[in-house]
Amino acid sequence: MKKSKLFILRVFLLVSLLPLIACQAPKEKDVVWTSDTGEVRPGPKTGKAVLALLHKSRQASTAGSLSTAESHLERALRIEPQNPTLWLYMAKLRLYAAKSNEAINLAKKALALSSRAENLSRTSRDSLQADCWRVIAHAHQKMGNLKKAQKAQDKAKSLSY
Amino acid sequence: MKRKSPIRRKKKTAAKNKTRRKNNKKKLILPYLRILLLLFLAFIVYVIYLDFEVRSQFDGKRWSVPARVYARPLELYVGKPLSYEQFNFELKTSGYRLDQDNIKTGHYQKNGNSYRVVIREFDFWDGHQPPRYVEVKFEDGFISNVTDFRDQADIAVVRLEPAIIGRIYPSHREDRLLVKLSDVPEYLTAALLATEDRQFYSHYGINPKAILRAMIANFKAGAVVQGGSTLTQQLVKNFFLTKEKSLVRKFNEAIMAILLEVHYEKHDILEAYLNEIYLGQDKKRAIHGFGLASRFYFDKPIYNLELSEITTLIAMVKGPSYYDPWKHKKRILNRRNIVIALMAEQGSITPYQASLAKEKPLNVVKRSKQITSVYPAYMDLLRRQLQQDYKKEDLTSEGLQIFSTFDPYVQKITEQTVKLQIKQLDKQYNLSGKLQSAVIVTNTNNADVLAVVGDKQPTYAGFNRALDALRPIGSLIKPAVYLTALQQKNKYSLTTLIEDKNITLKAQDGNLWSPRNYSGESHGVVPLFKALISSYNQATVRLGLALGFESIVTTLRNLGVDRDIPPYPSMLLGAVTMSPLEVTQMYQTLSAEGFITPLHTIRKVLTAKGEPLKHYPVKIKQGVDETSVRIINSALHEVTRHGTANSLQWRLPKGLKVSGKTGTTNDTRDSWFAGFSGEHLIVTWLGTDDNQSTGLTGSSGALPIWSEIMKKIRTRPFSFANDDELEYYYVESEKGLLVNDNCSTAAYLAFRKNIHPEDYGSCLQ
pLDDT at B506: 83
Percent of chain B exceeding pLDDT 90 equals 59
A residues 113..152 contacting B (CB < 8 A): 115-116, 118
Q: How far apart are CA B275 and CA B279, in angstroms?
A: 10
Q: Does A49 touch chain B (CB under 8 A)?
A: yes
pLDDT band at B644 (very low <50, low <70, confident <90, very high): very high
Q: Mind telling me how many Å the CA of A58 is from chain B's nearest CA?
A: 13
Sequence letter at residue B617 = P
pLDDT band at B279 (very low <50, low <70, confident <90, very high): very high
Q: Does A86 touch chain B (CB under 8 A)?
A: no
B residues 595..614 contacting A (CB < 8 A): 595, 603-604, 612
At residue B323, φ and ψ (nearest 5 deg) are -105, 35
pLDDT band at B688 (very low <50, low <70, confident <90, very high): very high
pLDDT band at A37 (very low <50, low <70, confident <90, very high): very low
What average pLDDT does the segment B529-558 reach?
95
Q: Which residue has the higher pLDDT, B11 or B189?
A: B189
Contacts of B446 in chain A (CB under 8 A): 77-78, 81
> B705-738: per-residue pLDDT in tens?
999 999 999 899 999 988 888 999 999 999 999 9
For residue B351, is pLDDT > 90?
yes
Would you say domain B174-359 falls under CATH 2.60.120.200?
no
Please state the domain extents for chain B: 67-163, 174-359, 417-752
Q: How far apart are CA B541 and CA B700, in angstroms?
A: 24
Q: A56: nearest CA in chain B? A: B126
Output DSSP code: residue A29: I
Q: How far apart are CA B398 and CA B223, in angstroms?
A: 43
> A38-87: per-residue pLDDT in tens?
455 666 677 889 999 998 988 888 888 888 999 999 999 999 999 999 99
Q: Which of B127, B156, B617 sits opposite A70 (nearest CB)?
A: B617
CATH topology (fold) of B417-752: Beta-lactamase (3.40.710)
Contacts of A54 in chain B (CB under 8 A): none
pLDDT at B513: 87
Residue B256 CB partners (closer than 8 Å, separation 6+): B50, B53, B54, B236, B240, B241
Q: Which of B125, B615, B622 sits opposite A108 (nearest CB)?
A: B622
Indicate the helix (H) or strand (E) that contains B525: strand B524-527
- The verdict on a CB contact (< 8 Å) between B156 and A48 is yes
Contact of B238 with B257, CB cutoff 8 Å: no
> B74-130: per-residue pLDDT in tens?
999 999 999 888 999 999 888 888 888 888 888 999 998 899 999 999 999 988 999
pLDDT at B60: 65
pLDDT band at B371 (very low <50, low <70, confident <90, very high): very low
Residue B491 CB partners (closer than 8 Å, separation 6+): B485
At residue B164, φ and ψ (nearest 5 deg) are -80, 125
For residue A35, is pLDDT > 90?
no
pLDDT at A32: 41
For residue A28, is pLDDT > 50?
no
How many interface pairs between A and B have CB atoms less than 8 angstroms apart? 80
For residue B496, is pLDDT > 70?
yes
pLDDT band at B622 (very low <50, low <70, confident <90, very high): very high
For residue B370, is pLDDT > 50?
no
Q: Which of A81, A105, A115 sits opposite B622 (nearest CB)?
A: A105
What average pLDDT does the segment B649-661 reach?
95
- The verdict on a CB contact (< 8 Å) between B126 and A52 is no
For residue B480, is pLDDT > 70?
yes
Q: A112: nearest CA in chain B? A: B626
> B407-430: per-residue pLDDT in tens?
999 999 999 999 999 999 999 999
Q: How far apart are CA B240 and CA B413, in angstroms?
A: 47
pLDDT band at B247 (very low <50, low <70, confident <90, very high): confident
Contacts of B156 in chain A (CB under 8 A): 48-49, 51-53
Q: Does B148 touch chain A (CB under 8 A)?
A: no
Q: How far apart are CA B126 and CA B76, in angstroms?
A: 17
Q: Does A74 touch chain B (CB under 8 A)?
A: yes
- The verdict on a CB contact (< 8 Å) between B595 and A105 is yes
Q: Mind telling me how many Å the CA of B410 is from chain A's nearest CA?
A: 16
pLDDT at B8: 61
Q: Does B621 touch chain A (CB under 8 A)?
A: yes
Domains of chain A: 2-159 (1.25.40.10)
Contacts of A78 in chain B (CB under 8 A): 75, 445-446
pLDDT band at A18 (very low <50, low <70, confident <90, very high): very low
For residue B493, is pLDDT > 90?
yes
Q: Mind telling me how many Å the CA of B615 is from chain A's nearest CA?
A: 8
pLDDT band at B229 (very low <50, low <70, confident <90, very high): confident
Q: How far apart are CA B611 and CA B124, in angstroms?
A: 10
Contacts of B80 in chain A (CB under 8 A): 49, 79
Q: Which residue has the higher pLDDT, A8 or B673?
A: B673
ipTM: 0.79
Q: Which residue has the higher pLDDT, B557 or B300?
A: B557
Q: Does B145 touch chain A (CB under 8 A)?
A: no
- The verdict on a CB contact (< 8 Å) between A102 and B77 is no
Contacts of B603 in chain A (CB under 8 A): 74
pLDDT at B14: 66
Residue B561 CB partners (closer than 8 Å, separation 6+): B578, B582, B585, B586
Contacts of B157 in chain A (CB under 8 A): 48-49, 52-53, 79
Q: Does B622 touch chain A (CB under 8 A)?
A: yes
Q: Does B445 touch chain A (CB under 8 A)?
A: yes
Q: How far apart are CA B157 and CA A79, in angstroms?
A: 10
Q: Does A80 touch chain B (CB under 8 A)?
A: no
Q: Does B75 touch chain A (CB under 8 A)?
A: yes
Contacts of B719 in chain A (CB under 8 A): 116
Q: How far apart are CA B451 and CA B417, in angstroms?
A: 13
Q: Mind telling me how many Å the CA of B157 is from chain A's nearest CA?
A: 5
pLDDT band at A30 (very low <50, low <70, confident <90, very high): very low
For residue B48, is pLDDT > 90?
no
Q: B723: nearest CA in chain A? A: A115
Contact of B322 with B299, CB cutoff 8 Å: no
Same fold, B174-359 and B417-752: no
What residues of B are labeled active site? Answer: 196, 475
pLDDT at B178: 82
- The verdict on a CB contact (< 8 Å) between B445 and A81 is yes
pLDDT band at B11 (very low <50, low <70, confident <90, very high): low
pLDDT at B699: 92
Contacts of A52 in chain B (CB under 8 A): 156-157
For residue B349, is pLDDT > 70?
yes
**Which residue of A45, A65, A66, A74 is the best one to mutate when testing the B interface, meaning the one whose CB has the most B CBs within 10 A?**
A74
What average pLDDT does the segment B642-654 reach?
95
Percent of chain A exceeding pLDDT 70 equals 71
Q: Which of B75, B446, B721 sits opposite A81 (nearest CB)?
A: B446
CATH topology (fold) of B67-163: Penicillin-binding protein 1b fold (3.30.2060)
pLDDT band at B228 (very low <50, low <70, confident <90, very high): confident
Q: Mind telling me how many Å the CA of A146 is from chain B's nearest CA?
A: 21
Q: Which of B77, B126, B595 sits opposite A68 (nearest CB)?
A: B126
Q: Mind telling me how many Å the CA of A8 is from chain B's nearest CA?
A: 31
Contacts of B620 in chain A (CB under 8 A): 105-106, 109
Q: What does the mean pLDDT of chain B come to? A: 89
- The verdict on a CB contact (< 8 Å) between A115 and B721 is yes
pLDDT band at B475 (very low <50, low <70, confident <90, very high): very high
Are β-strands B602-606 and B659-664 bridged in parallel, bridged antiparallel, or unpaired?
A: unpaired
Q: Does A77 touch chain B (CB under 8 A)?
A: yes
pLDDT band at B627 (very low <50, low <70, confident <90, very high): very high
Residue B340 CB partners (closer than 8 Å, separation 6+): B307, B308, B311, B349, B354, B357, B358
Mean pLDDT lowest among A104-118, B168-182, B518-532, B567-581: B168-182
